[in-house]
Amino acid sequence: MSQPSEQSSLATRFIRWLAGRVGPPGRPRSNGSARPAVAPYPTNRVRHSTDRGGGRMRLRGLMRKEFLQILRDPSSIAIALLLPVVLLLIFGYGVSLDAEHVPVALVVEQPNADTASFTACFQGSRYFAPVFLRDLREAEAALMARRVDAIVHLRSDFSRQLRQAGGAPVQIVVNGVDANTGRLIVGYIQGVWQTWLVQHARDRGAPLNAPLQVDQRIWFNSELRSRNFLVPGLIAIIMTLIGALLTALVMAREWERGTMEALLVTPVTMREVLFGKLVPYFVLGTGGMALSVAMGVWLFGVPLRGSLALLFVASSLFLLAALGMGLLISTATKNQFVAGQVAIITTFLPAFILSGFIFDIGSMPRVVQAITHVIAARYFVAILQTLFLAGNVWSVLVPNALALVLMAAFFLGMSRRKLRKRLE
């Protein structure tokens, strides 16, 4: 008879326990009806301690992860260290804006002492590789066949007209397919003609009756070597590739491999992620810059007349801007292939064409000149060419450095704003 009563008592105690008045069934009743208070968790003190030590630890871990990723990825090392060597060798030895050893056809209708002394100037010049032909028709055939690039024609009355008041005419025919080379050849031939006239007048003991006399002085690049102009600009192109292309693949690779989702559930902040991505590639880009400068100075003989410290500061500013562009592209695309294509189109090609590296900005249309102001490489090329060839010209260095500061702040700020700790 006591079993139903005991079951009823247990059921009543269970219901009262659910209401919070007594302990769970089967356990002794507590002294009070309320549950004992639990001491509050010291959240502020523990969180402060974790942020103080944990933030640095997380940042070190992120940077160590990126450095290990760089060491395990041969393409990153190749772009940062091998690509500068290849580009410098190609542009330093294979690309030249100078015209040397130009094949020129010399046509002399009536050889004599005057024509012999004049043609000897072509034979002793490193800019020409003269070829003597019998008549003008044969020379024109050689020009059409691209065996020669210019024709210098001396008529039969050259010596007689040379001693007259008007002087002797010299016919010059130049292949104008390449306009730049054609202008150089004409300038070189005119230089040979002026030099020979001065020497000819001196040999005769008579003054040269010229309407004016040009006393030219060439500053900053007295040898007129295009290599001194190309190599500093090429450093900007190389650092654009290292900074923008490599970092454009960083965040996209994280999204493709699924490691970004793992980072989002950790205590790491997006600021720490951004900083952890920047530092390793900044170090890598600085190494590529140092290698490029060393090759330019010691291998190609380009003078470095400016301060090495200023070169490092300017390179750091440009590298931060390039890294910011790459991170912004990578964060927006989230795909390595698309990020690489966008980086090449929006950073490398504008830097190659619109930075003043090869093509003069002043000769471009005004609309294109306005577009060049948003190209970071434009300012860096101006700084590099000034530091290498002219020295510490502050009127050039300071405005261009300030422009790089603004562009670096803009792109890094946009990257931070775009990079959020959430899944879309």
Q: 386 in a domain, yes or no?
A: yes
Q: Are residues 90 and 106 in the same domain?
A: no
pLDDT (tens, 9 = 90+) of the chain, 424 residues, equals: 445 555 556 555 655 555 554 444 445 554 444 444 444 444 444 444 445 457 788 888 888 888 888 788 777 788 888 888 898 988 888 777 777 889 999 999 888 888 888 888 888 788 899 999 988 899 999 998 889 999 999 888 888 887 776 677 888 999 888 777 888 888 888 888 888 887 877 777 666 555 545 566 677 887 778 888 889 999 999 999 888 888 888 778 877 877 777 777 777 787 888 888 888 889 888 999 999 999 999 999 899 999 999 999 999 999 999 999 998 898 888 888 888 889 989 998 899 999 988 888 988 899 999 999 999 999 999 999 999 999 999 999 999 999 999 999 999 999 888 876 555 5
Q: Are residues 229 and 199 in the same domain?
A: no
Query: Among 362, 382, 380, which residue's Cα sits nearest to residue 370?
Result: 362
The residue from 171, 204, 237 where one domain ends is 204
Check residue 5 and give its pLDDT. Answer: 53
Q: Are residues 186 and 310 in the same domain?
A: no
CB 386 within 8 A of CB 396: yes
Q: Are residues 231 and 173 in the same domain?
A: no
CB 334 within 8 A of CB 419: no
Q: 275 in a domain, yes or no?
A: yes
Range of the domain at 112: 102-204
Check residue 10 and give its pLDDT. Answer: 58
Q: Are residues 194 and 228 in the same domain?
A: no
Q: Are residues 335 and 259 in the same domain?
A: yes
Residue 154 host element (H or E): strand 150-154
Q: Which two tokens stand for residue 241?
A: 């590739």
Q: Are residues 86 and 177 in the same domain?
A: no
Q: 82 in a domain, yes or no?
A: yes
CATH number of the domain residue 157 falls in: 3.40.1710.10
Check residue 92 and give its pLDDT. Answer: 82
Going across the sheet that includes 102-108, the strands are: 128-133, 102-108, 150-154, 171-174
Q: 424 in a domain, yes or no?
A: no
Q: Are residues 180 and 116 in the same domain?
A: yes
Q: Are residues 183 and 324 in the same domain?
A: no
CB 80 within 8 A of CB 67: no
Q: Are residues 273 and 381 in the same domain?
A: yes
Number of domain units in the chain: 2
Query: Among 152, 150, 153, 134, which residue's Cα sits nearest to residue 102?
Result: 150
Q: Are residues 241 and 175 in the same domain?
A: no
Q: 49 in a domain, yes or no?
A: no
| C-beta atoms surrounding 214 within 10 Å | 6
| Whole-angstrom distance, CA of residue 122 vs CA of residue 285 | 47
